[in-house]
Amino acid sequence: MPDEIVPQRCVVVLPSTGEFDSRAYRIARTLHERGHEVTVLARWKPGLARREVHPVGYPIVRVEATAVDGLPFQVVTLPVLRALRLAVRPILGPVAFGSGPGAEPVGPGATPDPAAGAADTDGAEPLAEETDPGWAHPAARDPGRLRGYVRRARIFLMIRSHRRRALAVAPRADVYHGMAYMGISVALALGKRHQAKVVYDSRDIYMVAANLARLRGPIKAVLARLERGWARAADRVFTVNQPYATELARRFGVSMPVIVMNCSYRFSSPAPQPRRFHERLGLDPETRVVLYQGGFSVGRGVEPLMEAIRQVPGAVLVVMGYGALEAEFRAAAERPEQQGRVYVLPAVPPTELLDWVASADVVGVLFQHDTLNNYLSTPNKFLEAMAAGVPTVCSDHPGMAPIARATGCGIPVDPTDIQAIAAAIRSIVDAPSEERSAMRARALAAAHDTYNWETQVQVLLEEYTRLTGRRW
């Protein structure tokens, strides 16, 4: 391999706005600090700049992608679509074709679809199908079944629009790094135009994640076939853990994906332990804080934590993040039995996250076995807790339990067993101070030794170097 770093160009393609995407931030920051020219190509939504420079120094370019913009032969299709909506609405009502929440206007000046997104589950903005209530499984909301099918069909139009807009503004690069199944198509189009290398960063097993896991029929089959083709067309597939790599290699028929775990930078927790939650919420100094942070979506284990916290005297649960279930979580926190025990706070930027996580006493990472993706995942929040030196109570699943047991950073439990969850939390918060300090030290040691971005990113840089023949 070449010894000297050769300045090169990379475009990281996101199907999200990039506001909270920790993996994209770390990749872009690393490349920028090593002297490379890196651009994050993201999705625009109202209220955000179309072009800006991240405080670290790399540019973010946002393109406006809408389902309407993705329609082929718009001179013909737009009038036909308008006529169809006018004809059908009196029969099927506004729920089907939308004058209610989530409806997309058609025609010039239409408000762009704000949803889009990278998925990894955490540290990243969720995909549209995770955050939009209109994406609920059709059987669960019969009056809007047609609308559900329409919204699923819009995926293809959003991808087409994003690709079209990106081709107009994206700079030339040596590597296009496509994030998620809604970003790789764009990266491949850019790579083909500029004869550059393309990598597919499959941060989830998307076809068995979130609502796509419950989708059936021809749209799911087409999506799966497209993703498999995109993965095979890429020069390399990346993912975030070994269980995912094994499954993706089987599904895509590709060589074993490169594993770059989505770890945080090495972090030295302040001493004494910060107490941001105590200060923000006015908690008694002796109160223990159990934290869930990340996306507010189905299957993340927030509900079991809310039940379990009632069995942990002297402790409160803080639910910090954003997503489709925010209103539901806030309503739950207001119930009489939860008042003063459960608090809901907004997400914080990636640059501030670890200071907040370090302020907790326990982090709950209780992904459910509702999808194969959740079952095999190593969530960001699990690795971020380790980086901050906070013990976890985590799901006894293949992506977390082996790490928790080997490093001593957490206690694996059945994520559906409320009694076991409560007992595990109590065993941490009620332990003598010396034992709690030892738990935190074990988590920090594991993070500093192996589970940190500085170590993981070397794998990415080596693969980039292999692809371009010049050291990154």
**Each residue's pLDDT expressed in tens, for the chain with a length of 472 residues:** 568 999 999 999 999 999 878 899 999 999 999 999 999 999 999 999 999 999 999 999 999 998 888 777 554 555 655 665 566 556 555 544 444 333 333 332 333 332 333 334 444 444 433 333 333 333 334 444 555 556 667 888 889 999 999 999 999 999 999 999 999 999 999 999 999 999 999 999 999 998 788 888 888 899 999 999 999 999 999 999 999 999 999 999 999 999 999 999 999 878 888 999 999 999 999 999 999 999 999 999 999 999 999 999 999 999 999 899 999 999 999 999 999 999 999 999 878 999 999 999 999 999 999 999 999 999 999 999 999 999 999 999 999 999 999 999 999 999 999 999 999 999 999 999 999 999 999 999 999 999 999 999 999 999 999 999 999 9
Q: Are residues 309 and 385 in the same domain?
A: yes
Exposed/middle/buried for residue 183 (C-beta within 10 Å: 0-12, 13-18, 19+):
buried
Could you tell me the residue range of the domain that residue 396 belongs to?
276-451
Residue 335 lies in a domain: yes
Which pair of tokens denotes residue 61? 């370019």
Residues 284 and 216 in one domain: no
User: What is the β-pairing status of strands 37-43 and 9-13?
Assistant: parallel
Token pair for residue 434? 């010396």
What integer pLDDT is reported at residue 141 of this predicted model?
40
The confidence score (pLDDT) of residue 211 equals: 78
Q: Cα Rg for the chain, rounded, in angstroms?
A: 23
Structural domain includes residue 270: no
Residue with tokens 């079944």: 145
In DSSP terms, which residues pair with 38 in a beta bridge? Answer: 10
Q: CB within 8 A of 216, min separation 6: which ones?
A: none
Give the pLDDT of residue 214.
Answer: 83
Cα distances (angstroms) measured from residue 5 to each of 8, 34, 57, 404: 9, 8, 19, 36
**Any idea what the CATH number is for the domain that residue 215 is in?**
3.40.50.2000
Q: Report the alpha-carbon distance of residue 323 to residue 223 in Å, rounded.
A: 24
Q: How far apart are CA 284 and CA 278, in angstroms?
A: 7
pLDDT for the residue numbered 111: 31
Q: How many other CB atoms are there within 10 angstroms of residue 371's CB atom?
A: 22
Assess whether 62 and 17 both reside in one domain.
yes
Q: How many whole angstroms separate alpha carbon 158 and alpha carbon 161?
A: 5
Residues 163 and 287 in one domain: no
Do 284 and 313 fall into the same domain?
yes
> Contact at 8 Å (CB) between 37 and 8?
yes
Q: Decide if 125 is inside a domain.
A: yes
Evaluate whether residue 352 is within a structural domain.
yes
- Cα 263 from Cα 30, distance rounded (Å): 13
Q: Is residue 64 part of a domain?
A: yes
Same domain, 342 and 443: yes
- Contact indicator for 187, 10 with CB cutoff of 8 Å: no
The pLDDT score that the predictor gives to residue 213 is 85
Are the C-beta atoms of 240 and 120 separated by less than 8 Å?
A: yes
Distance (Å, rounded) from C-alpha 402 to C-alpha 408?
Answer: 10
Q: Is residue 271 part of a domain?
A: no
- How far, rounded to the nearest angstrom, does the alpha carbon of residue 173 sit from its chain's CA centroid? 25
